[in-house]
Structure 1
Amino acid sequence: MLLFWQACSNQLQKELTPQQFKAWIVPLAACEFNEQTQVFTISAPSRIKAEACSRQFGQRIQMLAQEYWGKAIQIQFTVRDKNSKKNNSDASRVAPIIAVPVVNAVNHPAPSTEATNLNGANEKIIQKEAKLDTTYKNNHLDKNLNFDTLVTGNANQMARMVGLEVINQLGKRYNPFFIYGGVGVGKTHLMQAIGNEVYKLDPSKKIRYLFANTYVSEVVKAYQKNQFEEFKNYYHNLDLLLIDDIQFFGEGDKSGTQGAFFELFESLIRNKKQIIMTSDRYPQSLEGIQERLRSRFMSGIDIAIDPPGFEMRVSILLKKAELDGVTLPEEVAVFIAQLLRANVRELEGALRKVIAYSRFSHTPINIENTKLALKDLLVNNQEHISIEAIQKAVADFYKIKVSDMYSAKRPKNIAEPRQIAMYLTKELTQKSLPEIGANFGGRDHTTVLHACRKIAENKTKDSKLQHELHVLEQILKA
């Protein structure tokens, strides 16, 4: 068994790039070869890695196994226990989670009883996966947007905690759950992760994810085809409704759509069915939305997701690279995270550029090559928000004087806005801590660091502060 795995690894090393081999094949381990059933089991450190390796390399490993043994071999992947060592055969006792469909085999042997049973089990697995794919297609969930792939940090920690509570108390607490924040901060990912987890816990749940504009189109079609009752019955019988970009209801004259949605909203809430919505702004700030809807949007819980902080941006880049099978040096992740601060989509776009540049130029991923890959961003990344603009916006918002930002006054109504201004300066500009301190009355960099940490910590526990920070960022970026 181990001799085959060594030969297989050597062959895959020749076929893959060093980065792909290190990211995907090195973490795998041979668990067991069952001679009766002709099943070779491979363990991976996580479910994500097991599923990805099965998709990308499963059939190739199966072909190599058939060449090695000269007969049909079934490959399956498993997740090893976290306490098991990589090459510990005890890991094989973990139940297999992925069976690779059989490819054209060499010299098919006569099927034994065990092999027949195995094929029957594999057929059931394949049928189950096909049914799962159909279900995802029908409810429009993306199974890759789950809690395993969601990077958590101060920016989304509270929203994630509420999301987990929603799953445990579906339709009973925090209903509706209204998630708001700027473009590309991860609202959709969190909402889809909740949907995927609910489905995983109970596949019988009726779930639907859709964009608000899709709902508008479906309302119009239902009226045109005189099928509104069928449309109504479908939506009113859902257990979980996930609706993205609800602010779209306010664009143009959509009074008919808003009326239909109001009826749907009331029906689902009355029957303790869960509603989750996302928007790019606070519910009360939604323009063109009927007041009765706005008030109901706020009747459950509303949580903001902020742009990711520095540490979270680094984690996101490292996680995305890992999922793509790329080893991203941490210093490169730090460089990109310092360069881009707005949202997750910008980070992902920059990472794709860096990976593509490395592949097409056949060069390693390092700081120098990253600068070449992102040269357009480096040129255009001029600072649009000044410290003075931040100080004025915060002073106006909290109704204090701009001069209080530089003063030694310590009353809470002055000290806290000053700390908020320091925090926003760190998040929205490229200024160093000493530079920030110098612009706030010559304060020491440790004072600035304390202020930034305090605000970052408090906003995870204080939804009012979180909302105020979100509003200030929107004002400054307008």
Structure 2
Amino acid sequence: MNDFWQHCSNLLRQELTPQQYQTWIKPLAALAFDTEARVLCITAPNRFKLDWVKTQFSGRIADLARGFWQQPVEVQFMLAPKKPELRPNGNGNGVHPPLASAPPARADTEHGAPERSKLNALLTFENFVTGKANQLARAAALQVASNPGRSYNPLFLYGSVGLGKTHVIHAIGNHLKHEKPAARIRYIHAEQYVSDVVKAYQRKAFDAFKRYYHSLDLLLIDDIQFFSGKSRTQEEFFYAFEALVAHQAQLIITSDTYPKQISGIDDRLISRFDCGLTVAIEPPELEMRVAILMHKAHAVNIVLPEEVAFFIAKHLRSNIRELEGALRKVRAYSNFHGRQITIELTKEALKDLLTVQNRQISVENIQKTVADFYNIKVAEMYSKKRPANIAKARQIAMYLAKELTQKSLPEIGELFGGRDHTTVLHAVRKMMEKRGKDAQLNHELHVLEQTLKG
């Protein structure tokens, strides 16, 4: 039996992402195999993982068992025996210390002069939780941080609010500052840059303005969509852009949308954005959301049971800030009532938020939105037709249904004309694989996700 489980684990490790393997497969254990009844018993550490693995992986594990023993095998799942619980903290009442906000950007001083980089020293690559949603952005950011001005210039990161764009660009700045302490670095939000332009105009100080911004080694500008409609700001930024690129300084830019879709931005700026590398940061997948919650809880000494992290992550899917807000709310509710954090307490604490989330996105809404986007009829989603355009739209809708709803694979298949769950799984895996390679498909999916989330 141990030989089988090692064989099974190795194969699943190759088929899944590292985070999926660590989250779902590694915690499992093969408990027993009844050779006469041909029943394999596998244990999971908690109810949430048991239900999820049973839904998502039982078929694959049964196939591997059949191949290993050369006979049909029934796979049964059960909860592993509980270990003795440790007290949550020293006071023994399960109440946690306040969840502190991240401190503001540190204003270091050097030779008596205030640090002007405006970097938040707490936002680094080391504490940035990585998953499929942001791994390309992190890889590009590391490359730029190690070779500023030479790898990708500019590096343009885009994605919805609360997905970690600001964390990434601060991490780049902190990395370069550590490697080259003398480097001239400035992080600035686009609204502050607009304000600086206005002040320079009022004080007739454009020479000093240009001297400062044109002399930087690294300019990190956040939320550039705020330049929309501000022609003088765009003109000054264009000159800064040209000057910085000319002396091989690095520019990092973020926005909430794809560069060509930012309204009110001069075409010559848009064309400059396209000269470098444009990377999307997507909403985090389930395993990444769990990892983020556990990391945030650990950072502020909250004892967060893993099943509670899974519960929150499964129900809140849009962005990292939403997860942080939920964690704060659960902590406050736990402290107020003097109770340990459990799934029941979490349901009570997040009752209003969960109600809103649960009524936001349905499979039917996804089908209608995707059908409208690709100009096909909703009925064709359920049909047996297989032209390329319909098959693509159907697979995208299945993928979005898996990502944005709590429906299981069999439930999704039933809502697509009674298709088998393996068909849905194939569509999901295909879209995940193609999304990482096809920029146009990735953009289409991003637009659909934004539309569905309102």
TM-score per shorter chain, which class? 0.7 to 0.9
Are residue 354 (structure 1) and residue 330 (structure 2) matched?
A: yes
Residue aligning to 2:207: 229
178, 188, 197: which one aligns with 1:210 = 188
For the 8 Å contact 2:95–2:340, the answer to whether it is kept is no
Are residue 187 (structure 1) and residue 187 (structure 2) matched?
A: no
Distance 2:435 2:114 in 1: 35
Distance 1:135 1:434 in 2: 63
Residue aligning to 1:143: 121
Give the root-mean-square deviation of aligned CA atoms. Answer: 2.5
435, 441, 448: which one aligns with 1:472 = 448
Distance 1:369 1:408, change over 3 A: same
Distance 2:323 2:124 in 1: 19
Residue aligning to 1:248: 226
The code of the aligned residue for 1:248 comes to F
Residue aligning to 1:454: 430
311, 317, 330: which one aligns with 1:341 = 317
For the 8 Å contact 2:94–2:339, the answer to whether it is kept is no
Within 5 Å, give how 1:16-415 maps onto structure 2.
Answer: 131=109, 137-250=115-228, 253-415=229-391
Residue aligning to 2:12: none
Distance 1:243 1:322 in 2: 30
The code of the aligned residue for 2:380 comes to D
Distance 1:465 1:353, change over 3 A: same
Gaps of 5+ in 1: 1-12, 22-51, 56-128
Corresponding residue pairs, total? 359
> Higher relative contact order by CA 8 Å / sep ≥ 6: 1 or 2?
2
1:248-278 deviation per Cα after TM superposition (whole angstroms, max 9, x unaligned): 010xx41111110110011111211111111
Distance 1:424 1:134, change over 3 A: farther
Runs of 4+ off more than 4 Å: 13-21, 129-137
The code of the aligned residue for 2:123 comes to L
For the 8 Å contact 2:162–2:320, the answer to whether it is kept is yes
For the 8 Å contact 2:96–2:331, the answer to whether it is kept is no
Secondary structure of the corresponding residue to residue 159 of structure 1: helix
Amino-acid identity (%) = 57
Distance 1:134 1:300 in 2: 37
Distance 1:453 1:144 in 2: 35
Distance 2:111 2:257 in 1: 33
Residue aligning to 2:416: 440
For the 8 Å contact 1:19–1:325, the answer to whether it is kept is no
Q: TM-score, normalised by structure 1?
A: 0.70
Following superposition, the deviation at residue 339 of structure 1 comes to 1.5
1:194-253 deviation per Cα after TM superposition (whole angstroms, max 9, x unaligned): 111111111111110011010010111112112211111110011111111100010xx4
Distance 1:15 1:400, change over 3 A: closer
Following superposition, the deviation at residue 476 of structure 1 comes to 2.3
1:102-127 deviation per Cα after TM superposition (whole angstroms, max 9, x unaligned): xxxxxxxxxxxxxxxxxxxxxxxxxx
Secondary structure of the corresponding residue to residue 251 of structure 2: strand
Secondary structure of the corresponding residue to residue 331 of structure 1: helix
Greater CA radius of gyration, 1 or 2?
Answer: 1
Distance 1:325 1:315 in 2: 15
The code of the aligned residue for 1:223 comes to Y
Distance 2:443 2:241 in 1: 25
Gaps of 5+ in 2: 1-88
Distance 1:143 1:202 in 2: 15
Distance 2:335 2:363 in 1: 40
Secondary structure of the corresponding residue to residue 131 of structure 2: coil
The code of the aligned residue for 2:128 comes to L
